[in-house]
Amino acid sequence: MNLPIANIRQDRHVASYVSLGRSRPDLKTVLPASPRTAAQILAECDATQVEREALEASRPDVLLNGTSDNVANLDHRIAVTKVRLDQLQVQHAAAVIAEAEAQAAHETEQKRRKDLYGKAMKASAEVEKLAAEYVIEAERLVPLLAKIRERAALIEAANFALPDGAEPVPPGEPRCSWNGRSDQPHSTIASRVKLPALGTDAGFIWGEVVPLPGRITYDPH
């Protein structure tokens, strides 16, 4: 995970404009400067300090041999360098704080992820055991479902050829038909239950499915 870098450089963003007159380069959009790290700001601060000291060291010679304009220009450069140095020191302090906050946030997020990962690994081991239990329980249901299906087939055959005057044989289980319509035939639980086996294309422990292209299906019945 990449830590965010706080950009504390002051950028001026001047909105673009539409004009029918002459172009104004001073009003064109200025792209934001790239974020700088505390180390980069500190390096610039050190270089600016060296520049300031060199300018101040040259002042006696300019006072002796230069004009008043030379001295004024030099003093202006020294003053600007001093302002730049003050800015860089403030920016460096802000960057240090921002990077410390970013690091703390990163560590907090990593702790949350590690805790979640640990719980997920534990859950994975539990699911492995539960999946094995599922297979056992599903196989236990097979004989029960087979009996229901056998008897449902017998009831269906009897209702298909009822004796004169006989009422239809009830299904023996709560009636189930699509969309709750009573005019549709009853669907037994044995035909609705699907118990998939584990693994890819492993088929079903119980239940008929419509074969799909390229898929292996298994129906022990």
68 plus 92 within the same structural domain: yes
pLDDT at 185: 77
pLDDT value of position 22 = 53
Which of the listed residues 65, 93, 124 is the one where a domain comes to its end?
124
Q: What pLDDT, on the 0 to 100 scale, is given for residue 1?
A: 46
Same domain, 145 and 97: no
Question: Nearest 5°: phi and psi at 45?
Answer: -65, -45
Residues 34 and 114 grouped into a single domain: yes
- The reported pLDDT for the residue numbered 86 is 96
Q: Is the same domain home to 142 and 159?
A: yes
Query: What whole-number distance in Å separates Cα of residue 45 and Cα of residue 55?
Result: 15
> 170 and 100 share a domain?
no
Query: What's the domain count of the chain?
Result: 2
Indicate whether 34 and 110 sit together in one domain: yes
Residue 177 within any structural domain of the chain: yes
What is the model's pLDDT at position 29?
A: 64
Is 159 in the same domain as 75?
A: no
Task: Judge if pTM exceeds 0.85.
Answer: no
Tokens 């172009």 locate to 23
Note the pLDDT of residue 24.
Answer: 57
Task: Identify whether residues 116 and 32 lie together within a single domain.
Answer: yes
Please indicate, yes or no, whether residues 114 and 150 belong to a single structural domain of this protein: no
Q: 184 with 177: CB under 8 angstroms?
A: yes
Is residue 5 in some structural domain?
Answer: no
| Backbone CA torsion sign across 157, 160, 165, 166 | positive
Residues 194 and 144 in one domain: yes
* Regions in the chain scoring below 70 on pLDDT: 1-33, 180, 208-221
My answer on whether 39 and 118 are in the same domain is yes
- Boundary-marking domain end, from 99, 124, 149: 124
Give dist(CA 62, CA 64) in Å, integer.
5
Q: What pLDDT was estimated at residue 56?
A: 96
pLDDT for position 9: 45
